[in-house]
Amino acid sequence: MTRRFRQTSAVVIVLLGVLHFSVPTTGQQPSTRWVTAWSTSQQVLGEDRISNATVRMLARVTVPGEAIRVRLDNTFGTEPVAIGRAFVGYRVRGALLAAGSNRPLTFGGATEVTLPPGGTVSSDPLPIAVRAQQDLAVSLHVRGSTVRPSQHTNAAVTSYRSVDGSGDVAADESAGPFGTTTTATWWLKAIDVVSPSSPGTIVAFGDSITDGTCSTLDAHDRWENVLSLRLGLDHDAAQKGRGTDGGLKAVINEGIGGNTVTREGLSPPPDSTPGLERLDRDVLSHHGVSDVVLFMGTNDIRRGATAASVIEGTAEIVKRVKAKGIRIVGATIIPRHNVAPTATNSGWNPDKTRIRNEVNQWIRTKAPFDDVIDFDRVVRDPANPDLLVPAFNCGDGIHPSPLGYYEMGRSIDLGLFRRK
């Protein structure tokens, strides 16, 4: 066999593999099911500058699959971003990858891709098996000079980059070139997997208490991480005949610190795109979405929103989600301790607690949710229900401690996500 024939055959095999995962035979149902198994919310144009270097972004997928594809967003970028090459591999620890696992990604068959300002691109399908709760490393060679990344700021996960001028080291499986760390996620928006047995994706749509403020860096101990682990263990038990199995759903995190439901009448104005405005981008654009957990409102109230405003905005999100045939579960707003206003924070007071309680009562009794998760009752102090349990308070009177997040995730009825 000649070298040219071997090369041509390899290309054909790769193309056939891609077609197998992406194009059904005419007149037949697709044999695969794409579900989004990891995601994050871009929220700002970062201050970092990257010049001819490689970034290695880490992401933990929440269901197993037979193939993946990677979505890159340049939501807040004002200039095109040229990606020279992109690879994805199995992370071992730090920036180190498992030997032989790092695979090149293509985009429309090309190894290079340009992310347009405000735009999004997805890779071609890559036949590579992944496990639930496996860390993947997406390495991107950024060819330009002083490029600012569109980013999620508080990822609660460490990612890596090489030094400026180091060029394309995306294929390198060692940790050597990746000596600089970041806790932001740059450009990487989502990872989809082909998971024929998964019935769908649960999107946790919220603010900093979903994003994971006060959780432990790299510990994956936010409430939705606990939920995902419990779903996996429940699925494993059912597979062994010890329960009822509806299949393993992915859980993805679309939380942003300080996020609000709406921007109407808020002072100071919101510092991130409100839930109503980012719903399409951060929830409805994902693949296989079966459920949404909506957990917002505290930041609207802190900024002076009325109960009627929070209720109206929440009801609009519910309506739009249900119009897509997706179930939506509401979460009650947890206590927030009184804080005097400052020049940069409008504070919290008993009147805002009264509004919180009014919204929560609506969520429990009148809201058009399919189900309700009562996080308020999980973390509030029995001696004073308007405060957090001291052990669940991370110290700012706003966010749960890791123990508080654990109790929140542990409290969720898994049956909520088996119901049709």
The predicted structure's pLDDT at residue 344:
81
Reported for 107-116, long-range contacts at CB under 8 A and 24+ positions apart, including other chains, are: 111/84, 111/85, 111/86, 112/82, 112/83, 112/84, 112/85, 113/72, 113/83, 113/86, 114/80, 114/81, 114/82, 114/83, 115/72, 115/73, 115/74, 115/77, 115/80, 115/81, 115/83, 115/187, 116/74, 116/80
* Mean of pLDDT values over 377-390: 98
**CA-wise closest residue to 344 among 305, 315, 307, 302:** 302
DSSP line for 221-248: -SHHHHHHHHHHHHHHHHHTTSS----P
Query: Residue 24's pLDDT band (boundaries 50, 70, 90)?
Result: very low
The predicted structure's pLDDT at residue 243:
60
Instruction: Calculate the CA dihedral of residues 286, 159, 228, 36 and round it to 10 degrees.
Output: 20
Question: Over the chain, what is the mean pLDDT?
Answer: 92
pLDDT at 335 over 50: yes
Question: pLDDT tens across 238-283, in order?
Answer: 888 766 566 899 999 999 999 999 999 999 999 999 999 999 999 9
By DSSP bridging, strand 134-142 and strand 53-61 are antiparallel
CA angle 366-256-42, nearest 5°?
Answer: 130
pLDDT at 36 over 70: yes
pLDDT at 9 over 60: no
The predicted structure's pLDDT at residue 12:
36
Q: How far apart are CA 332 and CA 312, in angstroms?
A: 15
Residue 330 or residue 18, greater confidence? 330
Q: How far apart are CA 281 and CA 270, in angstroms?
A: 18
The predicted structure's pLDDT at residue 29:
39
Question: pLDDT tens across 153-163, in order?
Answer: 999 999 999 99
* Mean of pLDDT values over 208-234: 98
Query: Residue 287's pLDDT band (boundaries 50, 70, 90)?
Result: very high
The predicted structure's pLDDT at residue 420:
54
Percent of the chain with pLDDT over 90: 87
List the beta strands (DSSP E) in 102-198.
103-105, 113-115, 120-122, 134-142, 150-152, 159-161, 180-182, 185-186, 188-194
Percent of the chain with pLDDT over 70: 91
pLDDT at 10 over 80: no
Yes or no: say if 59 and 38 are a contact pair by the CB < 8 Å rule: yes
Question: pLDDT tens across 360-372, in order?
Answer: 999 999 999 999 9
Phi and psi for 340 in degrees, rounded to 5?
Answer: -65, 145
Q: How far apart are CA 197 and CA 180, in angstroms?
A: 38
pLDDT at 419 over 80: no
Which residues, in sequence order, are CB contacts of 50 under 8 Å at separation 6+?
142, 144, 146, 147, 148, 149, 161, 164, 186
The predicted structure's pLDDT at residue 345:
87
Q: How far apart are CA 217 and CA 72, in angstroms?
A: 23
Question: pLDDT tens across 78-125, in order?
Answer: 999 999 999 999 999 999 999 999 999 999 999 999 999 999 999 999
Q: How far apart are the first and last CA of the chain?
A: 55
Question: pLDDT tens across 310-333, in order?
Answer: 999 999 999 999 999 999 999 999
Yes or no: say if 56 and 159 are a contact pair by the CB < 8 Å rule: yes
Which residue type occupies 130?
V
Which residue type occupies 169?
V
Least confident of 4-8, 43-47, 218-222, 329-333: 4-8
By DSSP bridging, strand 81-93 and strand 103-105 are antiparallel
The predicted structure's pLDDT at residue 240:
86
The predicted structure's pLDDT at residue 17:
42
Question: 130-156 as b/e, with b when 16 or more CB fall inside 10 Å?
Answer: bebebbbbbbbbbbbeebbbbbbbbbb
The predicted structure's pLDDT at residue 247:
87
* Mean of pLDDT values over 170-197: 97
Query: Residue 284's pLDDT band (boundaries 50, 70, 90)?
Result: very high
* Mean of pLDDT values over 304-315: 98
Q: How far apart are CA 315 and CA 221, in angstroms?
A: 30
Yes or no: say if 131 and 64 are a contact pair by the CB < 8 Å rule: yes
